[in-house]
Amino acid sequence: MKIGIVAESTQLPIRSALEAAARMGAKGVQVDAVDALAPDALGGTGRREFRTLLRSFDLELSALNVPVRRGLDVAEDLQPRLERVRKSMQLAFDLGCRRVVLPCPKLPEDAAAPRAQLMRESLLALAGFGDRIGCLVALEIGFDPAQKMKEYLAGFNVGTLKVTFDPANFVLHGHDPLANLMPLEGLVEHVHARDARSVGVSRGMQEVPLGAGDIDWMALTATLQVLEFDGLLAVEREQGDTKFADVANGVKFLRRFALPG
């Protein structure tokens, strides 16, 4: 396993974020496909230059994240949203990571409901495109138990739909992250290293710096090794006033558990 960071968690411009990642000793990064790195903003020359920039810092691009305001199960502006994801998949292929991270909404209870049909059609469209160009969709999960997600994805019979495992997502939605990792054998394509803990009955659960939460990282990384996960653990911090320091400390923290990569 290799340790990396989510570039946006540093709150720095992309070049400075890559430089910071290299100084932290990270092996790779996840970046958002927005602004200067949006598919429509980055032409052929820009894509070559970004790959060169990554090499200059000895970093790999582990995944391209595609932020979306609405899920794949929402009809409003769905086709433009799918087209944006497809363009991001092509960008991911051109940049060499061949992997996009896409948020997965809560799975529908009724497979015949309109929302369920929209989601299925959307995922089939993206999976088909991924098959053609050679790019995976790594759905960021956590709303539903892993076994339910595994059974849902098995119904597609495709190899381009995988998952991004974020243990904090499972904690925040009331699931045991460790118990929900083994059922995802063969599906975990990318990992967000985020932590969370209970902060009392009234306040529920909240994200905290890596190592300060309820997640057993020794057991989690050991399980990832059992699953033969050889991807990147991307340290991420979404909340708090000291995100940069939390990410840097998170990289140091994970070095205790991850095998050299």
Is 261's pLDDT higher than 50? no
Query: Is 73 within 8 Å of 104 (Cβ atoms)?
Result: no
Asked if the model's pLDDT at residue 157 lies above 90, the reply is no
How large is the average pLDDT for residues 170-178? 94
Question: Which domains, ranges and CATH numbers included, belong to the chain?
Answer: 2-254 (3.20.20.150)
Q: What is the pLDDT of residues 95-137, one digit of tens each?
A: 999 999 999 999 999 989 999 999 999 999 999 999 999 999 9
**pTM listed for this prediction:** 0.94
What tokens does 236 get? 């991420």
Residue 205: strand pairing partners: 198
Return the beta strands (E) in the chain as ranges. Answer: 2-6, 28-32, 60-65, 99-103, 136-140, 161-165, 188-193, 195-198, 205-208, 232-235
Instruction: Provide the 10 A C-beta neighbour count for residue 55.
Output: 11
Q: Which residues pair with 197 in a beta bridge?
A: 206
Residue type at position 247: V
